[in-house]
Amino acid sequence: MTRVGVLGAGISGLTAAYRLTQSDMAINVQVLEAADRPGGVIRSDAVDDRLVEAGPNTLRPSPLLETLIDDLNLEPERVWANDDASRRYIVRDGTPVSLPISVGDFLTTNLFSTTAKLRLLGEPFIGRGDADDESLAAFARRRLGPEVLNYAVAPFVGGVFAGDPEQLSARHAFDKLVQLEKEHGSLFWGALRSSGGDDETPSGLYSFRDGAEALPGALVDALGDRIAYDTSVSAIRREETRWTVETEHDTGTQTGAFDALICTLPLHALSSIDVDTGVDCAPLRDVEYPPVHVVALGYERSAVAHPLDGFGMLVPPVEDDFDILGTLFSSTLFANRAPDGTALLTTFVGGARDPALARREADAIQSVVERDLAALLGISGSPSFRHHVHWPRAIPQYTTGYGAVKDTIDALEAEHSGLHFAGNYRQGVSVGDAAASGADAAARVQNTL
């Protein structure tokens, strides 16, 4: 029987391991996880009659996630976002303004000035760029104009990557946009021509009755005793035809031997373990994972003047009276997340935009959040519920030059037969993208056995 080790039990590792157990081949899978729980950054905490997400709040349908939901019988647990969630607010001049979703809205919105609207309408007439690896800010400034960069693109990347558009690479972080320009000469025409999607995959945002953690939870149930917790990988090396993995335990170092490995450790963790290779891994060590705080606050509904009729609000960096990245209206987004008559608001702080703020004490961060929410949403009084999660290293930043990271991973795989990589640093940071990279790695293992 072939023995495959999967390093890390986040969504990419769990998906890889599950896919291997589905194979017709005789594969014995063992998942090695440093923490005492699975799921990595996917964590749903039930506290004081509330359901709070420490990591991802919403999932977007993808062909792989739909297959997993079917296979794992998760459909009865799935909950779709409230219809109101299609409305998103962006803060402009200290007020949340709803992002236009129709031509009529666009013409009348005060989110963008008339100059910015005219600039945007000219997008189809702007020639293609020729930079090979442009920052997202440069790409957006060139195609959409500075105001749309400031009041749409920058807050959006704050929401997805907790990132800074001046640093992120358009090509590596938002390849679909770059391809639209390449293939259609215009984002506007490209989006119009490629709209529709495939009929098989539903649209909308979803979670599960018990939160996003239900997905890794169902994979864990399917994997049974194939996962070892409190098992921190400290070294991997090739010995003759097999891979030896060293792991740290209270009782000391242990070793295990595998025919193939799928490594899904975040790059900062991979960089601190001993990997026996001639490949120069310096580019992997340089990838930033800025800190993020997730602060969930509960208020009496009557204390919040804003109607909270949307997904949430994003705060552009140019709105410099405020320090938060954005807030999800969690009790609007999904039913049963907070007691009736109360509001649950989940706010993100830090990221690449403000790593220094994210290094301050939890109390200071909470004060910043309460201050900004009071001003932006018209809140009176203090929250009656507080829940705070700190991710010292949250999301990998696909900055300009990220091609060197992808090349290094490819070189490691080419150099070392039986060593495969998956994770949110490879083909996208969403849960769906991370799961897909796990499934792809499992397929590569099966193809090479």
Ligand X SMILES: Cc1cc2nc3c(=O)[nH]c(=O)nc-3n(C[C@H](O)[C@H](O)[C@H](O)COP(=O)(O)OP(=O)(O)OC[C@H]3O[C@@H](n4cnc5c(N)ncnc54)[C@H](O)[C@@H]3O)c2cc1C
CB-nearer residue toward ligand X: 44 or 150: 44
Q: At what angle do helices 63-71 and 214-223 cross, to 10 degrees?
A: 60
Nearer to ligand X, 31 or 99 (CB): 31
Closer to ligand X by CB, 368 or 434: give it: 434
Smallest gap, in angstroms, from Cβ of residue 7 to ligand X? Answer: 5
Q: Please report how close the Cβ of residue 383 comes to ligand X at its closest, in angstroms.
A: 20
Helix-strand-coil split of the chain, %, nearest 5: 40, 25, 40
Whole-Å CA distances, 129 to 87, 171, 292, 336, 389:
32, 12, 33, 47, 41
**Shortest separation between residue 189's beta carbon and ligand X, angstroms:** 28
Q: Could you tell me the smallest distance in angstroms from the CB atom of residue 21 to ligand X? A: 17
Task: Spell 155-193 as b/e; 16+ CB within 10 A means b.
Answer: bbbbbebbbbbbbbbbbbbbeebbebbeebebbbebeee
Cα atoms in the 13 Å half-sphere on the side-chain side of 240: 2
Least distance from C-beta 10 to ligand X, angstroms? 2
Least distance to ligand X, CB of residue 140, Å: 22
Torsion angle of the four alpha carbons 348, 350, 353, 355, in this order, in degrees rounded to the nearest 10: -170
> Please, which residue, 272 or 302, has the CB nearer to ligand X?
272
Which of 183, 274 has the CB closer to ligand X?
274
* Shortest reach from residue 344's CB to ligand X, in Å: 15
Buried (b) or exposed (e) across 84-106, using 16+ Cβ within 10 A? ebebbbbbbeeebbebbeeeeee
Decide whether 186 or 347 has the Cβ nearer to ligand X. 347
In the DSSP assignment, the letter for residue 169 is: B
Burial zone of 252 (CB within 10 Å; 0-12 exposed, 13-18 middle, 19+ buried): exposed
Strand partners, 247: 233, 254
Dihedral of the CA atoms 203, 209, 212, 213 (nearest 10)? -150
> Least Å distance between CB 182 and ligand X?
25
Within 8 A by CB and 6+ apart from 32, the residues are 5, 6, 7, 8, 228, 231, 233, 245, 247, 256
Residue 308 to residue 311: CA distance in whole angstroms: 8
Residue at 353: amino acid letter: R
Smallest gap from residue 348 Cβ to ligand X (A) = 7
Binding site for ligand X (CB under 6 A): 7-13, 32-35, 40-42, 55-59, 232-233, 264-266, 269, 273, 292, 294, 391, 394-395, 423-424, 429-431, 434
Angstrom distance (rounded) from CA 387 to CA 362: 11
- Minimum distance from CB of 36 to ligand X (Å)? 9
Of 232 and 244, which has the nearer Cβ to ligand X?
Answer: 232
Closest CB to ligand X among residues 273, 303: 273
The CA-atom distances, in angstroms, between 148 and each of 114, 138, 142, 161 are 12, 12, 11, 18
Nearer to ligand X, 51 or 120 (CB): 51
Q: Are the C-beta atoms of residues 313 and 88 closer than 8 Å to each other? A: yes
Give the separation between CA 394 and CA 401, rounded to whole angstroms: 20
Smallest gap, in angstroms, from Cβ of residue 139 to ligand X? 22
Query: Least CB distance from residue 12 to ligand X, whole Å?
Result: 4
Q: Are 432 and 62 in contact (CB under 8 A)?
A: yes
88-92, strands of its sheet edge to edge: 95-98, 88-92, 312-314, 324-328, 342-350, 292-300, 385-391
Three-class SS of residue 309? coil
